[in-house]
Amino acid sequence: MSKERSKPLHIASCSFGKDSLATILLALEHGEPLDEAVYCEVMFDKTISGEVPEHRDFIYHTAIPKLERMGVKVRVLCAEKTYVDLFTGTVTRGPKKGMLRAFPICGRCYVQRDCKIRPFRQYQRTLPPDTVQYIGIAYDEWERLLRLTGQQVSLLEKYHFTEEDAKQLCRKAGLLSPVYEFTDRGGCWFCPNGKKKELRHLYDHHPDLWARMLELQALPGKVSEKFNRTESFSDIDERFRMEDAQKSPCEKAA
C-alpha cells in the first residue's frame, strides 16, 4: 500500500507574465510549498502559437529553462482546438445557425474559455481536491482578489507585492518578458481586448501574423465583422496605413 500524502499539492498558474512569475519567485524566496507551475498555451492554428512571438521565445528559451534550473517543474497544457478552429466553427442553433462564429466577443471570449480555462480545468480534475492553486493577483488589485475562491491563494497579496513590485522582482531575476517594452498586459496577439500599441506592434513587426488576421476577416458568412467593440480588423489595417502615409520621411526612417 502506498504511503498516504500528508500535505496538499501546490501549483502555480503561470502565463509567464510579471505577476505569475513573481508569484513563483516569492514562493522560492519564502520557502512556500510549490510542486509545479502550470502553463496553458493557446494556439492560433496547429503550428502557430497565440503568444506574441517575443513572449513565446521568452517562455521557451529563457523562462522555462531558468525555472527548471531553480528546481521548479513546469507543466505545459494545450487544448485540442485552436483559434482558427473556433473562428471557422459554425453556429448550430438560433437565427444565425450555419454562420461562422468568427471573432470572439470582448468580455465573453470563447478562446479563453475553450483554449485556456477548459484544458486547465480538465487537468485540475486529475489532482486531489485539496490542491492549492497560486494565482498571480497583485496586492493592489482588490477587485480581482475578492474573486478568489476555495483553495486559490495570492502570494502577492500575502507578501504585499503590487504590480510594480512584481515587475521589479522579475526584472531583478532576469525573468521579465520583453512584451513589457510595448505593453503593460499579457494576452494573445489576436485578443479583441488588445490595445492600439499592441496591435501596432503586431502590424509593424509581425506582418505575417497580421496577414493571417486579414485572411480571416475576408471570410464570408461571419456572425459579425467586428474584431473588437468598434472596428473590424480591416478598419484597423486601413487606419494604420493612413497613419503611415501621413508620417514625415524622418518618422518613416525612425
Kindly report the CATH number assigned to the domain that includes residue 102. Answer: 3.40.50.620
Which residues, at least 6 apart from 4, have a Cβ–Cβ distance to it below 8 Å? none
Which pLDDT score is estimated for 5? 57
What is the total residue count of the chain? 254
Domain region containing 139: 10-182
Helix-, strand-, coil-residue percentages of the chain, each rounded to 5: 45, 10, 45
Asked if the structure places residue 47 within a domain, the reply is yes
Say if 174 falls within a structural domain: yes
Whose cell is 529553462? That residue is 65
For residue 124, is it within any domain?
A: yes
Instruction: Kindly report each contact of residues 27-30 with a partner whose C-beta sits within 8 Å and lies 24 or more positions away, as own/partner.
Output: 27/134, 27/155, 28/70, 28/71, 28/72, 30/155, 30/159
> Number of structural domains, the chain?
1
Supply the pLDDT for residue 155: 98
Which one-letter amino acid corresponds to residue 152? Q
Q: Torsions phi, psi of 94, nearest 5?
A: 85, 180
pLDDT at 7: 87
Q: What pLDDT score does 2 carry?
A: 41
Q: Is 203 a member of any domain? A: no
pLDDT in tens, the chain (254 residues): 344 557 899 999 999 999 999 999 999 999 999 999 999 999 999 999 999 999 999 999 999 999 999 999 999 999 999 999 999 999 999 999 999 999 998 767 889 999 999 999 999 999 999 999 999 999 999 999 999 999 999 999 999 999 999 999 999 999 999 999 999 888 899 999 999 999 999 999 999 999 999 999 999 999 999 999 999 999 999 999 999 998 766 666 65
Q: Taking Cα atoms as reference points, which of 72, 190, 164 lies closest to residue 156?
A: 164
In a domain, 212, yes or no: no
Q: Which three cell numbers stand for residue 184?
A: 503593460
Tell me whether residue 111 is in a domain. Answer: yes
72 in Cβ contact with 34 (< 8 Å): yes
On whether residue 252 sits in a domain, the answer given is no
**Residue 219 placed within a domain:** no
Structure pTM?
Answer: 0.91
